[in-house]
Amino acid sequence: MHCIKHIAAIAAVGLTMSGGWGSAHAGSMIGAGALDKATLGELLYFDQNLSINRNQACASCHTPPHFVDPANVANPANSPVSLGSDRTLNGGRNAPSAAYAAFSPLFHWNATDGLYIGGQFWDGRAGTLAEQAKGPFLNPVEMAMPSKGAVLKRIAERANSNFDRYRKLFYSVYGVKTDQLRDPESDVETNALYDMVADAISAFEKTGKFNQFSSKFDYVLAGKAAFTPSEANGQAIFNGKAGCIACHTSTSGTAPDGSVMPPMFTDFTYDNIGIPKSMNPLIAGNAIDQGLGGRADIVARDPSGSQIGKFKVMSLRNIAVTAPYGHNGFFATLEDIVHFYNTRDVASERWPAPEVTQNVNTEELGNLGLSAQEEADVVAFLRTLTDGYGAPLNQFAFPPFP
Ligand code: HEC
Ligand code: HEC
């Protein structure tokens, strides 16, 4: 019954269903309220009215099916970062895929290993997905809205083609009337309503649409497909000689509900792999990006600067279709970044100096000794991580994540 309701809701907003909601297992985990919430989040996620010039939505920079900026993917060498709603301003960082972002744990300090883990963004500054979703609407180089109240008014205006659905869903999910959105009585109320917008978007990001587990890798894991010899060799090198597995976890784990959790290809930690400063004219003039260690709260806790230059280990799911690569989009192709891992510290290769020389990891990468064929095999393996090889396998029930 839940499944049928979800299909109806998705059909109502004119999108095809591709997520892993089909099985009774997943259906039984998700109540009707949660489905309404995800549907509301879906409308908000695609609503261009929520940007200053009514020309940009979350979906513009995180477009399905792989949830990245198509302008970057089409021209990664010249377009490493996204343009904002005003069509001239841009941020300094490459838009990561929003797929599988739901799996990042709460940002926290792990005292046992002495590491920061989790969070959203390249520097983890948003603890959770909902916290993350509050940022882009108000970011001047993204959707550029002047205030939370202004975002709420755009949701509640009659001219919004979603008006009726917003009215119905805000009431059924949060008990909120359109009048309240249009005209909150206090800052406290404005903040609470804005938090609901972010909460609904995060519910949508936890659905099967974003988390398909439908790659060739997933099919091989399930015993339903086989790697080519090159892909299989690439996997062996990834896990062995090249040591990618040390940060991009490639073995299954256990989910909070006890079921098998397929690998996310990240351990959600932070590292400085020594990526050079971008020479792209869009961002070449930017200040040095210090990543995690540049955050004011981290600086306050860690005056020694041990986190400077570190960025989140990103998931490698869908990596072949989410160019460019690295926090500043320095690498246009997978071949480039794999060659960088292999040869960063080989003098004859003449890689430019790292953007931040402090804390560069010189132990696990930089001179891996891979042959050209081995590099190509690693790339072939990475290409098996793209969703859409087959139907979603739905190995995992959502959403037990922050
Ligand atoms: C103008 C392009 C743009 C728009 C619009 C945009 N984003 Fe992003 N998004 C980015 C960039 C760039 C980053 C990385 C920024 C950083 O790390 O500092 C990012 C990061 C993220 C992440 C973090 C992923 C991870 O693994 O850390 C998520 C999730 C996300 N965005 C979702 C959204 C949602 C939801 C919206 C709408 C409310 C949105 N984005 C609107 C460009 C955009
Ligand atoms: C020591 C930890 C570590 C190891 C080992 C490692 N990586 Fe990474 N990887 C990272 C970090 C951290 C980032 C993000 C760095 C940045 O953008 O500054 C990253 C980013 C990437 C990206 C770009 C992700 C994106 O969304 O743009 C790719 C592709 C990648 N790694 C592949 C590999 C491969 C292939 C190997 C093995 C040859 C490997 N990594 C080994 C830590 C590691």
Provide the token pair at 228.
């080519």
Distance CA 310, CA 65 (A): 29
Distance CA 98, CA 264 (A): 13
* Contact predicate 363/345, CB 8 Å: no
* Exposure string over 140-178, b if 16+ CB within 10 A, otherwise e: ebbbbbeebbebbbbbbeeebebeebbbebbeebbebeb
Q: Please work out whether the CB of residue 243 comes within 6 Å of at least one atom of ligand 2.
A: yes
Is a pLDDT exceeding 50 seen at residue 164?
Answer: yes
**Each residue of 25-35: pLDDT tens digit?**
333 345 567 78
Residues in contact with 231: Cβ distance below 8 Å, sequence separation at least 6, in sequence order: 216, 377, 380, 381, 383, 384
Is a pLDDT exceeding 70 seen at residue 3?
Answer: no
How far, CA to CA in Å, does 137 sit from each of 52, 57, 102? 9, 9, 19
Q: Please work out whether the CB of residue 91 comes within 6 Å of at least one atom of ligand 1.
A: yes
**Each residue of 254-295: pLDDT tens digit?**
877 777 889 999 999 999 999 999 999 999 999 999 999 999
Kindly report the protein residue whose alpha carbon is nearest to atom 32 of ligand 1. Answer: 98
Q: What is the mean pLDDT of residues 139-165?
A: 96
Provide the token pair at 379.
């790339």
Q: Please work out whether the CB of residue 143 comes within 6 Å of at least one atom of ligand 1.
A: yes
Distance CA 383, CA 398 (A): 26
**Each residue of 75-113: pLDDT tens digit?**
999 999 999 998 888 889 999 999 999 999 999 999 999
Q: What is the mean pLDDT of the chain?
A: 89
CA of 266, nearest ligand number? 2
Provide the token pair at 202.
């995060």
Q: Please work out whether the CB of residue 365 comes within 6 Å of at least one atom of ligand 2.
A: yes
Torsion of CA 195, 197, 202, 204, to 10 degrees: 160
Distance CA 24, CA 4 (A): 11
Distance CA 156, CA 78 (A): 38
Is a pLDDT exceeding 50 seen at residue 205?
Answer: yes
Closest to 381 in 3D by CA, of 336, 313, 334, 323? 334
Q: How confident is the model at residue 248 (pLDDT cuts 50, 70, 90)?
A: very high
Could you tell me the distance, in angstroms and rounded to a whole number, from the CA of residue 315 to the centre of ligand 2?
9
Could you tell me the distance, in angstroms and rounded to a whole number, from the CA of residue 70 to the centre of ligand 1?
14
What percentage of the chain has pLDDT greater than the value 70? 90
Could you tell me the distance, in angstroms and rounded to a whole number, from the CA of residue 372 to the centre of ligand 1?
34
